[in-house]
Structure 1
Amino acid sequence: MDFKKIKLYHYPATRSSRVKWALYETVGDNFEEEVVSLYEGEQYTPEYMQINPNHSVPALEITFANGDKKHMLESSAMVSFLAEAFPEKNLTPTAQFSSERADYHQMLMFAASPIDMMLWQIRVHEHVLGPDEKDQQTAQRYRHKFQTEVEPQLIKRLQAHDFICGNTFTAADIVMGHCVMWGKMYGMCEDEAFSSYLSHLSKRAAFLQAYADAGKFDPVPPKGAKPSGLFTG
């Protein structure tokens, strides 16, 4: 991909870390990063809302070689786009129409959509919402679904292979790996298969670079956090 500049709007350990990882895998450190302080409410400022009207991270600003500028707002779309834009990095199966590529897309989207949704509902109802808005029944429903329906599928794959789509690392692991870490943060994904999986992922230099700031993330918003009252889901 021929580009002039790439800029990532980021907050540690959130979905933007997926994109940061994909960037380190594809363009190295040839990108800019701006931290959006979520607990300070910076995602709701008029300036940031012009970039991302969904008031969330990540946002990826790409200035192409011809001067065109594009804002991408969905983390998994960014990961997929970068993987496709740099085929020499071997983040996708080579064959365009194959069982391997079908499985790759299936697992990338499985992580990006239903798994992410379950984890988000757990986080929202256990930590993000105020006490009068939290619904523990919703959190428990998705915990149960995740642990009884999702985890067995992933464990079966990870007991058979090092990575989610076999023994070769792909961009699907960037999204799935983040989801597994997210699950562990909430007391799930405790099977040894998940620990082994994360051990394989953590051997990649791009992973270590992307998550070097993860220790700055606290899942519990501080008291008086500015997004209170602005959060819409």
Structure 2
Amino acid sequence: MQIKRLKLYHSPALRSTRVKWLLHEILGDDFDVESIDAYSDLYTPEFRKLNPNHALPVLEITLENNETVVMIESGAMLVMLADLFPASRLAPLARPFSKERADYLQMLHFLCTSMDMMLWQLRIHEHVLPASERDDRTIRRYRRKIAEEVEPQLAKRLRETPYICGAAFTAADCVMGYNLMWSRGAGLCTAPVFTDYLARMAARPAYVSAFADRHLFVRTVPEDAPVKVQFTG
């Protein structure tokens, strides 16, 4: 079954940006984007029909028979899209087995889950939760873990190769570049090796397109935003 059209539900600078970046790498601008206000729309009945976990991104896939498939996990979207468009060379081939494929999958999922979770904890405890619910111990713990454990691992890889999984740009770099944006906004990952890497990413037209709306992002959630009352994690 062939894909007829792709539609991404997106909000500036949030996780949907890493999928948007990959879509631009593969399709240019030939996909649809619906803008979502993450501070007011995620908990509405309409959006929760798309994603009961009230989170972005959401990828709506329309097939050639007009059937619609909805995906709500960005890591799964990235793996699927890179594999569906092998001509774009954004992932090592799934078969036969290769060390390159294993490393690519491991790194992509580490960035999408483990590192993302640490950054998310910083985000919610510094900018989203009401002051009475923030935990300074959590903030200190994950700042230390990123600085002492994660940064050295990533820096070592980038000193050896220009991209996070080797000599070629892959879908994992869409997550790596995105995570570095968040890390540096929190005062982390400031070493020159990360600055040089981000400069290489910023030279890619797809990166420019993916982050073109970044200026619309509001870091601190307004006190009167619906998400302040409805936020569950």
Q: Normalising by structure 2, what TM-score?
A: 0.97
User: Which has the higher mean CA deviation after the structures are superposed, 151-160 or 88-97?
Assistant: 88-97
Task: Verify: 1:214 aligned to 2:209, yes or no.
Answer: no
Q: Is the 8 A contact 2:25 2:206 kept in 1?
A: yes
Q: Once the 2 structures are TM-superposed, how far is the Cα of residue 95 of structure 1 from its aligned partner? A: 6.3
Instruction: Provide Cα deviations, 1:77-105, integer angstroms capped at 9, x if missing partner.
Output: 11111101100000012463111111101
Instruction: Provide Cα deviations, 1:116-171, integer angstroms capped at 9, x if missing partner.
Output: 00000011111110011000100110110011000000000111111001121001
Q: How does 1:91-170 map to 2 (within 5 A)?
A: 91-94=90-93, 96=95, 97-170=97-170
Distance 2:67 2:105 in 1: 28
Distance 1:204 1:84 in 2: 21
Distance 2:167 2:6 in 1: 31
Task: Verify: 1:27 aligned to 2:20, yes or no.
Answer: no
Q: Once the 2 structures are TM-superposed, how far is the Cα of residue 66 of structure 1 from its aligned partner? A: 2.4
1:221 counterpart SS class: coil
Instruction: Provide Cα deviations, 1:12-59, integer angstroms capped at 9, x if missing partner.
Output: 0110001111111112211111111012x1111111110111111110
Task: Verify: 1:53 aligned to 2:52, yes or no.
Answer: yes
Give 1:75's aligned residue.
74
Distance 2:207 2:12 in 1: 13
Output the aligned Cα RMSD.
1.1
Distance 2:72 2:171 in 1: 18
Q: Kindly tell me the number of residue pairs found equivalent between the two proteins.
A: 232
Instruction: Provide Cα deviations, 1:181-202, integer angstroms capped at 9, x if missing partner.
Output: 1101111010111111111111
Q: What code does the residue aligned with 1:175 have?
A: V
Distance 1:173 1:188 in 2: 18
User: Which has the higher mean CA deviation after the structures are superposed, 93-102 or 105-114?
Assistant: 93-102
1:70 counterpart SS class: strand
Distance 1:194 1:143 in 2: 17
Identity percentage of aligned residues: 50
Give 2:11's aligned residue.
11
Give 2:88's aligned residue.
89
- Evaluate the alpha carbon distance shift between residue 95 and residue 226 of structure 1 in structure 2; reply closer, same or farther with a 3 A threshold: closer
Distance 2:93 2:121 in 1: 35
Distance 1:54 1:26 in 2: 27
Runs of 5+ unmatched residues, structure 2: none
Q: Is the 8 A contact 2:20 2:210 kept in 1?
A: yes
Task: Verify: 1:183 aligned to 2:175, yes or no.
Answer: no
Q: Once the 2 structures are TM-superposed, how far is the Cα of residue 223 of structure 1 from its aligned partner? A: 2.6
Q: What code does the residue aligned with 2:160 have?
A: A
Runs of 5+ unmatched residues, structure 1: none
